[in-house]
Amino acid sequence: MKLGIVYHMPFWQGPDGRLREIEGSFARYVDSLAPYFDQVILCVPVLTEGRGEGTPIRSPNVRLAPLPHFDGPVQFYPRLPVILPALASFVRNIDLLHCRLPTPAAIFAFAFARLLRRPAFVLIVGDLRAMLPAMPYRRIKKLLWRLYTEFEERGVQHMARRSLAFANGAALAAKHARPDHPVVQTQTTTISTDEIAAREDTCIGQPIRLLTVSRIDPRKGLRVLPDVVRRVVANGVDATLDVVGPAVGAPGEDERRAIESAACTMNVRDRIALRGAIPLDRLMAIYREHDVFVLPTLPGEGIPRVLLEAMASGMPVVTTRVAGIPSLITDGRNGLLVDSADAATVADAIARLVSDGPLRRRLIASGYETARTFTLEAQAARMMQGVAAQLGVVLRQPVVSSA
């Protein structure tokens, strides 16, 4: 059984011959599905040169069906004359199609799969329409982005209604479900059972080390972070902040510059470090060096996988009550939810965690319980059980290590 996966996360081939991805979350997702198939073929944009160290694909049965590199729809659509034949050839050589949505190439691959009678399943991980208010475009760019968003939204709805559909979190599942065609709620994750930490408390030493892991993008709400740090320090807490993640495209670079400028204006530049992308294999250790995880994200998320990574690392979490996040985090039980991603609200939640040891330790303990429920292995097994049952395909059974 050959599984074909379509997504927009770029890959490259390292000097050692292994396929690598810049962030690592998608690479781990692919590795979690690979044991169920004879071969996994990734139809993704391919870089001619690597971007940093990257995270390697570990499974030996994964190969590429390369697409020309594109960073977004502006680069994708002019290349359609080259991309469409590549997608058609890709679909002809697989037995089962999997689209991770939204992504520009998916609707075209899905159409070829329908034409060639290949079964398909989709995983919806984001909501472009909900992200529209956060996009920084004006005039004609704003209009064009709205048109693209509407096209993508209609494409996602079309695919969700005509295939087995999974969605990341309750909000996305509810949005795309229909009375005659339910959507299966799932949770994207990157953590394995052996990566769950054991520390019982944080915020013991000085300074208090805050951590945000996120792509730098206007849709992520990161511009409030300098003011958050300023307010936390003004409240008497000696705090620093590390932001881990790459800037995404020109809007991401603008956002990065805006964060740096605000940090200088507020006299906290020496307390904030923008560390860029760090491979996931090294990132898990960085979580364990920090005290509080902060993610002031905006609407449009499914459920950010970084929340589970933070909980698995023994970090109390502060994040916003948007999209699917409340289906993972219950306020006061395994994290703190704020209703607004404004600096004052986020800073108050951080100060509460720093000063309230019993609350902090309770959140850490419950976070471990949540992380154990949503390991990579468990989520892949649930999804593949549904795929086998609903699509009638015969999958391999993963070999369980006795170690």
Is position 401 within any domain? no
- Residues 60 and 139 both lie in one domain: yes
Q: How many helices (H) and strands (E) does the chain have?
A: 14, 16
- Residues 137 and 211 both lie in one domain: no
- Residues 140 and 234 both lie in one domain: no
- Residues 149 and 75 both lie in one domain: yes
* Listed residue (341, 311, 313, 345) closest to 329, CA to CA: 311
Task: Say how far apart CA 32 and CA 280 lie, in whole Å.
Answer: 15
The pLDDT tens digits of the residues spanning 353-376 come to 999 999 999 999 999 999 999 999
- 207 cis-preceded (ω within 30 degrees of 0): yes
What percent of the chain lies above the pLDDT cut of 70?
A: 99
Copy the structure tokens of residue 282.
């090294």
Three-state secondary-structure class, residue 244:
strand
Is position 335 within any domain? yes
Question: Residues 107, 83: contact at Cβ < 8 Å?
Answer: no
pLDDT band with cut points at 50, 70 and 90 for residue 303:
confident
- Residues 214 and 276 both lie in one domain: yes
- Residues 240 and 107 both lie in one domain: no
The pLDDT tens digits of the residues spanning 148-176 come to 999 999 999 999 999 999 999 888 999 99
- Residues 37 and 181 both lie in one domain: yes
- Spatial CB neighbours of 177, under 8 Å, sequence gap ≥ 6: 183
Is position 56 within any domain? yes
Is position 400 within any domain? no
Is position 397 within any domain? no
The pLDDT tens digits of the residues spanning 45-72 come to 999 888 778 889 999 999 999 999 998 8
Averaged pLDDT for residues 263-288: 93
CA 332 to chain CA centroid, nearest Å: 24
Copy the structure tokens of residue 152.
């993508």
- Residues 156 and 210 both lie in one domain: no
Three-state secondary-structure class, residue 25:
helix
What's the pLDDT score for residue 24?
Answer: 85
Task: Count up the domains in the chain and report the number.
Answer: 2
Task: Say how far apart CA 256 and CA 248 lie, in whole Å.
Answer: 9
- Residues 226 and 353 both lie in one domain: yes
Is position 340 within any domain? yes
Question: In the Cβ-directed half-sphere of 247, how many Cα atoms lie within 13 Å?
Answer: 15
- Residues 279 and 368 both lie in one domain: yes
- Residues 250 and 147 both lie in one domain: no
> Could you list the residue range(s) of the whole structural domain that residue 158 is in?
2-189+375-391
The pLDDT tens digits of the residues spanning 76-89 come to 999 999 999 999 99
Three-state secondary-structure class, residue 122:
strand
Is position 240 within any domain? yes
CA-based angle 181:185:191, to the nearest 5?
A: 150
- Residues 38 and 129 both lie in one domain: yes
Is position 402 within any domain? no
**CATH number of residue 181's parent domain:** 3.40.50.2000
How much is the mean pLDDT over the chain? 93
Averaged pLDDT for residues 285-305: 90
